Amino acid sequence: MTGIVLGRVDPQGSLLETRLMRRHLVTRGSFYERLADHGDELFSDGEFAHLYSERMGRPSIPPSVMIRALLCATHDRTSDAETSRRTRVDADWKAAMGVDDDFEGIAARTFSLMRARMMAADADNALFEATLAKAVAAGVFKGPLRSIIDSSPVNGAGAVQSSYELIRGFLGRVARAAAGILSGPTAAAVAPLLAGKAAIDWQDPAARKEHLGVLVAAGRVVLAEVAGSGDPAVAEAAELLAQVIDQDVDEDGDGNPQIRQGVARDRVVSHSDPEMRHGRKSASRRFDGYKMDVISDEASELVLGVEVRAANAGDGEGAAPLLGHIRDTLAGLAPAVEMGLVLADMAYSDGDVRVAVEELGMDLVAKVPPMSNGGRYPKTDFYIDADRGEVTCPAGEVSTDARPTTDHKGRPAWLFAFGAESCVGCPLRPECTSAAAGRTVMVGVHEARMADARAAQLDPKIIAMLRLRCKVERKIDHLQDLGMRKARYRGRRKTKLQALLAATVANFKRLAVLGAFDTAPQLAAAA
Ligand code: SF4
C-alpha cells in the first residue's frame, strides 16, 4: 500500500494526552478508560506497519489510534460521520485513542480506507487474535478448552429486491462494465430499461409478464455479446445476471418467460449485495443476509473465533472449519493449550459434523434430535445391529433383508424390509406401519455413532454439560448489542470485519473482568 507513510504514536507519551490532562472527564471504569490504560498491551503501531508505505507520502494517523477509534465506534455503534465527530470532541474517546487533548479528529472517509487496508492484509483477524494472545499471556486458558459453538442471523445491509429489480440491476451492472463491448443497437435497446422502474401497470399480471419478457430478452442478448470477454469485471457481472435469470425465471407452456414458483436454494436476493441469501433461524423465522458462527471458551467466556457465511449455509457445515482455524491459531500462541470438548445444539448433531470435529481431535457433544414417525414407532424403537447386519422390530421380528439406498443427503444407506409376511398379521401393526408391503427401516452410515450419542445424552454429566451451552447464547447477545444483528457494510468479507471488531471489543471487556491486564493503570493516580 503506497501513498500514506506510517504515522506513529510517540512511545514516550505526551503530557497533553486527554487521559492525563482531562482524566477527571473520563468515565470511571468504562470501556474507554480501560482502552486508554491497557490498549497498548494488545496492539501498537508497529504491528500494523505493513498496512502503510515505508517511505512515500504524508504521515498517517497512527494505526493504533485508528484502531482504537474503530473499537470505540464498534462499542458505541456510531456511523463514520459520528465517529469522526467524537474523535474530535469526546473526552472518553480521546482518552481511549491515546491522543492529545487538542487532537483535531479523524476525517470520516479515513475509516473506510482503514477498513479496506485491514481487510486486504487480514489485519482485522490479527487484531482479534491479539485478544487471544493476551489471554494466553495472562494464563487465562487452563487445561483442554471446552468450547461452545452457535450461530446467529445477521440481516444484510443490501435491499432485498424483486425478480424484476434484480434482473434490471444486474443488467445495468453488465451494461456499465461492458460499455465498450456492447454493440450500438444493444446499448440503445438496454438504456431505457435502466432509466428506472418501468412505467407499466404493476397490478396487471399480463403487463408484468410482458415486461419480464423484455428484461429477459435484453439480458440474454447482452450475455451473448459479452460472452468470452476477458475483462473480469464484465465476467463477474455477467455471471450474476445469468444467475438471477436462471434462479428467478422459467418458461410457460408457450416458451415465454415467467416468474419461477418457489425459491431457488442459493437465490441471490439483492442487487446491492449479491452475497446476501435467504436464511431461516427456525421454520417461522426468516431473514436475509448472513449467518455468524461464534465459538466461545466455556470457562473464560472469551470469544475464540467468529466467521460469517451465507444465510442459507447449514449451521453444522461451519463448525469444523472454524474449530480448525482456532486450533491452529492457539497452537501458534500456546502449544500447550488444547481444544477438547465442543458443546453445540441439535443443529450441529449430524453425523458428518461429528466426524469432521472428531478428525480435528475434538469431541462434539450435541443433543440428537428426537425421532418421530407420525405417531407410529420411530426408528429408535428398533434394535439395529450393524455388525451382524440385522434389525429387530418391537415385535421381535428380525430383518436381514437390506437393500442399498441413499439418505436425504445422498449418503449411502441400507433399507431393511420386514415384508408383508411379518407385518400383515402383527398385533403391533397399527402402531408401526400402514404400508401393505410391510415396514422398512433406513440405516445410515452414522447409525452407530448417533445411537452412541443418543445413549450418552442420558448421562447426567452430559445433561449438566449441555446446560452450559447457553453461555454462547449470552455471548451472541453481547455481539448483537455491539451491532451484529445487522450488517453495517455490504458483502460477506466486510460483515466478517464487523464481526471481528465486535468480538475484539467483547474480548477486551472480558479480559478486563478476568483481570488479564497485569499492570495497574500507570496513570490512574492522576484521576
Ligand atoms: S408391523 Fe412388522 S415391523 Fe412393525 S412390529 Fe409388527 S412385525 Fe415388526
- Domain spans in the chain, listed from the N-terminal domain onward: 4-121, 145-155+278-367+465-503, 163-259, 379-456
Query: In this structure, are strands 58-59 and 145-155 parallel, antiparallel, or unpaired?
Result: unpaired
- State whether the beta carbon of 428 lies less than 6 angstroms from ligand 1: yes
C-alpha cell at 420: 408383508
- State whether the beta carbon of 417 lies less than 6 angstroms from ligand 1: no
Q: Which atom of ligand 1 is nearest to the CA of 393?
A: 8
Calpha distance 107→52 (Å, rounded): 18
How many CA atoms does the CB half-sphere of 363 hold within 13 Å? Answer: 12
C-alpha cell at 226: 459479452
- State whether the beta carbon of 395 lies less than 6 angstroms from ligand 1: yes
Pick from 208, 234, 210: nearest CA to 222: 234
**Which amino acid residue places its CA nearest to atom 4 of ligand 1?**
432
Cβ of 14: how many Cβ atoms within 10 Å? 14
**How far is the centre of ligand 1, averaged over its atoms, from the C-alpha of 29 (Å)?**
68
How far out from the chain centre does Cα 335 lie?
Answer: 27
Task: Look up residue 348 and give its DSSP letter.
Answer: G
Output the tens digit of pLDDT for each of the chain's 527 residues.
Answer: 445 555 666 666 666 777 777 888 889 999 999 999 999 888 888 777 777 765 555 557 888 999 999 999 999 999 999 999 999 999 999 999 999 988 999 999 999 999 999 999 999 999 999 999 999 999 999 889 999 999 999 999 999 999 999 999 999 999 999 988 899 999 999 999 998 889 999 999 999 999 999 999 999 999 999 998 888 999 999 999 999 999 999 988 888 999 988 877 889 999 999 999 999 887 788 999 999 999 999 999 999 999 999 999 998 999 999 999 999 999 999 888 889 999 999 999 999 999 999 999 999 999 999 888 999 999 999 999 988 999 999 999 999 999 999 998 899 999 999 999 999 999 999 999 999 999 999 999 999 999 999 999 999 999 999 999 999 999 999 999 999 999 999 999 999 999 999 999 999 999 999 999 866 544 443 33
Beta strand spans in 255-302 (E): 257-259, 277-280, 286-297
Please, what is the Cα angle at 360 between 354 and 366, to 5 degrees?
A: 30
Calpha distance 255→250 (Å, rounded): 9
Cα torsion angle, 36, 37, 38, 44, sign: positive
pLDDT digit string (tens) for 155-164? 999 999 999 9
Whole-model pTM: value is: 0.89
Beta strand spans in 35-141 (E): 58-59
Cα first-last separation, the chain: 40
| CATH architecture for the domain at 145-155+278-367+465-503 | 2-Layer Sandwich (3.30)
Pick from 31, 45, 5, 37: nearest CA to 18: 37
Contact in structure between 379 and 393 (CB atoms under 8 Å): no
Query: Which residue among 426, 431, 441 is best mutated to probe the pocket of ligand 1, counting the most ligand atoms within 8 A of its Cβ?
Result: 426
Alpha helical stretches, state H, 369-446:
420-423, 429-432
Question: What type of residue is 1?
Answer: M
- State whether the beta carbon of 111 lies less than 6 angstroms from ligand 1: no
